[in-house]
């Protein structure tokens, strides 16, 4: 970590929960060193759970867990409204962040790692389609995930949904596809698309 940075963000480039943090930090005009945590020899000494994302601030404060890191980064930036402009908005953004971080990641893990039999895979795919239907129905009445504008919930949800796109037929989710197109010009999405 150099003195010119605000800290170090440890990510895993293949993990949808952490591979977007560099783009988030850039959008927030923050200066963090982005490091692939899987290549850090003493990562387990620094973070005993050996999980990414993880962050060490320039003051030596360690922050783990996706939602805590999102909160920290936005809180130290000048773009605090990206997490919501008041308690009600922030609550909705966090609600949706938690939903995608838990429900979708659980199904993603089932599909990629835990489903060993065809029956298990079918159950996981049914669960994924139920989640996608829920989001599609929500987007039928709302332009964006949490608020009437793009927030960090949209960007995180986009990263999770596109990260598991190979498992389900997304053609039938018109509202999700329209929403993905709507947010595609956001600077974070543009950065992730490079």
pLDDT tens sequence across 62-107: 999 999 999 999 999 999 999 999 999 999 999 999 999 999 999 9
> Which has the closest alpha carbon to 145: 193, 83, 78?
83
> Which has the closest alpha carbon to 159: 128, 121, 114, 191?
191
User: Does pLDDT of 146 surpass 70?
Assistant: yes
Q: Confidence band (pLDDT; 50, 70, 90) for 165?
A: confident
User: Does pLDDT of 2 surpass 60?
Assistant: no
User: Which pairs count as long-range contacts for 35-44, CB under 8 Å and 24+ apart, including other chains?
Assistant: 35/8, 35/9, 35/10, 35/11, 36/10, 36/11, 36/12, 37/10, 37/11, 37/12, 38/12, 40/10, 43/10
Asked if residues 58 and 34 have their Cβ atoms less than 8 Å apart, the reply is: no
Q: 7-78: what fold?
A: Glutaredoxin (3.40.30)
Residue ranges covered by each domain of the chain: 7-78, 82-192
CB-based contacts of 171: which residues, under 8 Å, 6+ apart? 177
Q: What predicted TM-score, i.e. pTM, was given to this entire model?
A: 0.94
Asked if residues 71 and 85 have their Cβ atoms less than 8 Å apart, the reply is: no
Q: Where are the beta strands (DSSP E) in the chain?
A: 7-11, 32-36, 54-57, 62-64
**What pLDDT was estimated at residue 166?**
85
CATH dotted code for 82-192: 1.20.1050.10
CB-based contacts of 99: which residues, under 8 Å, 6+ apart? none
Q: Are 7-78 and 82-192 equal in CATH topology?
A: no
Burial class (CB in 10 A: 0-12, 13-18, 19+), 132: buried
**Angle at the Cα of 35 from the Cα atoms of 49 and 75, rounded to 5 degrees:** 80
């Amino acid at each position: 970590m150099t003195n010119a940075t605000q800290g170090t963000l440890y990510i895993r480039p293949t993990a949808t929960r952490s591979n977007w943090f560099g783009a988030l930090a850039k959008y927030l005009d923050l200066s963090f060193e982005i490091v692939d945590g899987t290549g850090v020899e003493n990562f387990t000494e620094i973070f005993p759970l050996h999980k990414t994302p993880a962050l060490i601030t320039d003051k030596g404060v360690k922050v783990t867990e996706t939602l805590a890191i999102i909160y920290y980064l936005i809180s130290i930036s000048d773009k605090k409204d990206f997490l919501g402009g008041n308690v009600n908005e922030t609550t909705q953004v966090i609600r949706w962040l938690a939903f995608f971080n838990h429900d979708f990641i659980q199904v993603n893990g089932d599909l990629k790692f835990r489903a060993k039999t065809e029956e298990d895979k079918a159950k996981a795919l049914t669960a994924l389609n139920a989640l996608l239907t829920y989001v599609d129905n929500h987007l039928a009445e709302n332009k964006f995930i949490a608020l009437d504008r793009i927030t960090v919930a949209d960007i995180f949800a986009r990263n999770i949904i596109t990260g598991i796109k190979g498992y389900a037929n997304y053609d039938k989710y018109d509202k999700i596809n329209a929403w993905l197109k709507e947010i595609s010009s956001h600077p974070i999405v543009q950065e992730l698309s490079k």
